[in-house]
Amino acid sequence: MARPARETAASFRNRILASLPGAVRRALQDDLTPVPLEFKTVIQDVDAPIRDVYFVESGIVSVLAAMTDGTAVEVATVGSEGFIGLPVALGTDRSVSQSVVQVAGDGFRMPARAFRRHFEERAELRATVNRYAQATFTLLAQSSACNRLHSIRERCARWLLTTSDRLGASAFPLTHEFLAQMLGVRRASVSEVLSELRADGLVATNRGKIDILQRRHLERESCECYWIVRSEYERLLDGKDSSPLLARIRRSVTEQSGAGKARSKAHPPRSSVEDKHS
């Protein structure tokens, strides 16, 4: 029996698919197959041909930079705002990264060949995917700077907030070992930070799960990278205004005649970040 046509954006939780005009969504429908995204499933591997792309409806997929000794560090997360398979849109058929389901959910699979055809033929899809690519590049660049400049506590808070945003939930599965791998730090360092956040009443942890109890206070603990990346996704995918942090950073760089000399000015007071975005 044929699947019913999806006539409205509400039929999709994936923001890329939901943003497309109805005619484009209907054209894509026959090439989209609903699939479960099961925990720890590798849906794109290192230097392997990309045969399918995946539009995430729920759950989270981690994009990992893997090393020859078997270690890996998370460089990006993908939730319902995006899809796995961006290299296909950029004209290649493989990547050096690995994409692994971090939190189980569901999504839609599309053959890479079909995606490439739709991408070339449909300007609306092409424009949306290109904006998503720009948002992803911002995430990668900001994460690189964040890993160099900010404390483990700030980075941990940013990761928890981003994961909560991707899932649309304050509670989600998480182990100390997994978070340490995602942040590229020792497990002991993660345990220490989570213990501090728990003692401050910001989070609760229990049997491989974490619950954000005081989100606004956790936002104060995060660095500005969280807001910059979040606002860029909202600007590029939802048409919202740019983050006011960008104007603040631009002024500070200009005044100091070069990046890296004005971290204290580029990093606004916690209260101003919270008040602006709460």
> Has residue 137 been placed in a domain?
no
Looking at the fold, whether 191 and 75 belong to one and the same domain comes out as no
Compute the distance between CA of residue 244 and CA of residue 252 in angstroms, rounded to an integer.
Answer: 13
Residue 117 pLDDT exceeds 80:
yes
Percent of the chain's residues with pLDDT above 90:
70
Give the range of the structural domain holding residue 227, as residue numbers without chain letter. Answer: 146-277
Top-ranked range on mean pLDDT: pick from 57-71, 115-129, 233-247? 115-129
Residue 150 and residue 273 in one domain: yes
Does residue 43 sit within a domain? yes
108 and 164: one domain? no
Residue 182 shares a structural domain with residue 216? yes
Q: What is the pLDDT of residue 44?
A: 96
Identify whether the C-beta of residue 146 lies closer than 8 Å to the C-beta of residue 225.
yes
**CATH assignment of the domain containing 49:** 2.60.120.10
Q: For residue 2, tell me if it sits in a domain.
A: no
CB-based burial of residue 43 (10 Å sphere; 0-12 exposed, 13-18 middle, 19+ buried)? buried
Residues 89 and 159 reside in one and the same domain: no
85 CB-near residues (< 8 Å, 6+ apart): 44, 50, 52, 53, 54, 112, 115
Q: What is the pLDDT of residues 14-39, one digit of tens each?
A: 999 999 999 999 999 999 999 999 99
The torsion defined by the Cα of 171, 75, 79 and 104, in degrees rounded to 10, comes to -60
Residue 7 lies in a domain: no
Confidence of residue 276 (pLDDT cuts 50, 70, 90): very low
Same domain assignment for residues 38 and 108: yes
Q: Is residue 128 part of a domain?
A: no
Domain end among 122, 138, 163: 122
User: Residues 6 or more apart from 43 whose CB is under 8 A from it?
Assistant: 37, 52, 54, 61, 84, 99, 100, 101
Chosen domain end from 122, 154, 171: 122
pLDDT of residue 251: 62
State whether 95 and 160 are in the same domain: no
Model confidence at 210: pLDDT above 50: yes
For residue 134, is it within any domain? no
84-105 mean pLDDT: 94
Q: Dihedral sign, CA of 133, 135, 138, 139? A: negative
Residue 263's pLDDT band (cuts 50, 70, 90): very low
**Count of structural domains within the chain:** 2
Residue 1 lies in a domain: no
The answer for residues whose C-beta is within 8 angstroms of residue 191's C-beta and 6 or more apart is 176
CATH number at residue 257: 1.10.10.10
Q: Are residues 93 and 211 in the same domain?
A: no
Contacts of 80 (CB under 8 A, 6+ apart): 13, 14, 15, 56, 57, 58, 166, 168
Domain final position from 87, 122, 157: 122
The whole-number pLDDT of residue 152 equals 95
Q: Are residues 107 and 193 in the same domain?
A: no
Residue 104 within any structural domain of the chain: yes
226 and 110, same domain (yes or no): no
What is the spatial distance between Cα 246 and Cα 46, in angstroms, rounded to a whole number? Answer: 34
Are 51 and 95 members of one domain? yes
Q: What is the pLDDT at residue 181?
A: 83
Residues 185, 32: Cα–Cα separation, whole Å: 38
**Cross-sheet strand order for the sheet of 171-173:** 171-173, 209-212, 203-206
My answer on whether 112 and 68 are in the same domain is yes
